[in-house]
Chain A
Amino acid sequence: MPILQPIGRTFLFFLEATGRLSLFTLLSLSHCLRPPFYPRLILRQMIEIGYYSLPVVGLTAIFTGMVLALQSYTGFERFSAESAIPNVVVVSITRELGPVLAGLMVAGRVGASMAAEIGTMRVTEQIDALDTLATNPFKYLIAPRLIAGLTMLPILVLIADIIGVFGGYVVATQKLGFNPTTYLTNTLDFVEVQDVVSGLVKAAVFGFLVTLMGCYHGFNSRGGAQGVGAATTNAVVSASILILCFNYFITELFFAR
């Protein structure tokens, strides 16, 4: 049965990869919770992930908010439903576009650099050196990154929400002739706590996924520069796919009736 062989092999490979990733995740989480902690390293990663991602996330958010207002106007105008624009902008940004786009941008920026850095450390024996110096690489390298990702992404997304809504406001009031006060009142009336909270929960999960993928692929990279390159690609691709998958499931968790 030569046709069954490749199917079986692929399936086994899939199981093996899933198992390895699950073990890695559990081990990483357990090291996040147990001392020793490295506050200096956590702070450094928070600055790297949070502060330095602000420009790219902010730019993404403002243009998304602007284009949302513009697009929904051209559509809603036909049904004289322009008054729904503040609602559409704020709900789309806080629930979906803020966390997903910020997650994807951070995956490209942070996930890639993490995979490259840790991967290079692996192939140049720096991770072995950590071990021989009686320092656990999970505690020293991975836990600070996971903690920083988990905490920084919600803050980034909260800022992105505000900037995105502001982008919609600017286009609506300057280009589409909305009354500024009415627009803001409508925005605040429409938005619910659950919209924002669901977005922030997503952000925390995405932050964890991005850093986990960066660390996992970097940590397991093999074979010199090519291996590090592959690890970087895999980290970004897998983080992006996981973000989109988890986005659906978290949405279902919050909003499915």
Chain B
Amino acid sequence: MNQTTNSQTPEQGQASDNNRMPKIKIRGLSKAFGNKVVLDGVDLDIFPGESVLVIGGSGSGKSVLLKCILGLLHPDAGSIEVDGEEVVGLMGEDLDRVRRKFGMLFQNAALFDSLPVWENVAFGLIQGQRKPRDEAHAIALEKLAAVGLGEDVGNLMPAELSGGMRKRVGLARAIATEPEIIFFDEPTTGLDPIMGDVIDRLIVKCVKQLGATALSITHDMASARRISDRTAMLYHGQIIWVGSTATIDESGNPYVDQFINGRAEGPIEMQVRAL
């Protein structure tokens, strides 16, 4: 299939960034589950301080891409470098050291329901950085305030929170350790449009304040335009287009056009049947 017709290659999309070293450099990343090939040679560079978004249909491998970078899944082939260090195949303490650079907001926030909200936020500080509990508590309250939640919320259990509040707590947890890189897995999915906008603004604010590099995945185009500088489209396991989010409407790529306009008809055939 000639997917790359009329599309920019990843290198063209990043032409202006050639002189800088990428924060995350992905080359030839492949991952299959049984017979189903999910990633088939993904190439992507993410530069320091930018916010990159990966779009793609459901089941196109966006989450798998994030999980490979975090070392939660082991890719079948390819390389992932973070700050020039190869992370594929890292184990134990080395992997933990690299993971401390990352923060992640999970799709459904993935809060630990056995711990109160403040301990969720402080988790990376207490367990990862071995900070004393009272110091971590103070930082947790500060981070909760940064996402617009009061001290009283800190003592609630995650089960008592609404969807929007869970996302905020998840965001506070992701930024609590002041990571260099933050991943956002469908940050607005399951929220109403207004809450979606609130979360997006918080994301932009937090990422700016930390000066962090951000990688997000979503299929919510309104959210995509708000939070990202650059967009990459994942289709059939490959990055078929990379370009500035501001010019995505003029991409000239039929796949991207179909996706951002949400049309059922076009070159992308949705897999209706689960594989």
- A129 in contact with B112 given A134-B124, A135-B128 (CB within 8 Å): yes
Additional pairs, 17, CB under 8 Å, beyond known A126-B113, A131-B99, A132-B72: A117-B114, A124-B110, A126-B112, A128-B67, A129-B104, A129-B106, A129-B111, A129-B112, A131-B70, A132-B102, A132-B103, A133-B177, A134-B96, A134-B124, A134-B127, A134-B128, A135-B128
- Pairs A–B under 8 Å by Cβ, sample size 21: A117-B114, A124-B108, A125-B107, A125-B110, A126-B111, A126-B113, A128-B72, A128-B106, A129-B111, A131-B70, A132-B102, A132-B103, A133-B99, A133-B127, A133-B177, A134-B97, A134-B100, A135-B123, A135-B127, A136-B96, A140-B127
B243 at the A/B interface (Cβ < 8 Å)? Answer: no
A130 — which chain B residues lie within 8 A by C-beta? 112
Q: Which of A155-190 contact B (CB under 8 A)?
A: none
B124, B127, B128 — most chain A CB neighbours (10 Å):
B127
Chain B, interface size category, equals 20 to 34
Cα of A135 to Cα of B107 in the assembled complex, Å: 20
Report B-chain residues with C-beta under 8 Å of the C-beta of A125.
Answer: 106-108, 110
A152 to B96, CA, bound (A): 32
Interface string of B230-250 (1 = CB under 8 A from A): 000000000000000000000
Q: In the complex, A214→B199 CA distance in Å?
A: 37
Q: Tell me, in angstroms, the Cα distance from A128 to B63 when the chains sit together.
A: 12
Rounded to whole angstroms, the CA-CA distance of A107 and B96 in the bound complex is: 34
A76 to chain B, nearest CB (A): 51
Those of B158-185 within 8 Å (CB) of chain A: 173, 177
Specify the chain A residue showing the minimal Cβ separation from B183: A132
A134 to B100, CA, bound (A): 6
- Complex-state Cα separation, A128 to B70, whole angstroms: 9
What residues on A are CB-neighbors of B112 within 8 Å? 121, 126, 129-130
Cβ-closest 10 pairs across A and B: A125-B110, A134-B128, A129-B110, A134-B96, A133-B124, A135-B127, A134-B99, A132-B104, A125-B106, A126-B110
Residues of chain A within 8 A (CB-CB) of B102 are 132
Report the minimum CB–CB distance from A10 to chain B (whole Å).
19
B167 CB, min distance to chain A CBs, angstroms: 14
State how many angstroms separate the Cβ of B37 from the closest Cβ of chain A.
20
A133-B106 contact given A128-B67, A128-B72, CB 8 Å threshold = no
Determine whether B154 belongs to the interface, using a CB cutoff of 8 Å to chain A: no
Contacts of B107 in A (CB 8 A): 125
| Cβ contacts under 8 Å, A132 to chain B | 70, 72, 99, 102-104
Pick the most buried of A117, A124, A129, A140: most chain B CB atoms within 10 A of its CB.
A129
The distance from the CB of B82 to the nearest CB of chain A, in whole angstroms, is 13
Q: Which residues of B contact A134 (CB under 8 A)?
A: 96-97, 99-100, 124, 127-128
Q: What residues of A have a CB within 8 angstroms of the CB of B99 in the complex? A: 131-134
Complex CA distance for A134 and B111, rounded to whole angstroms = 15
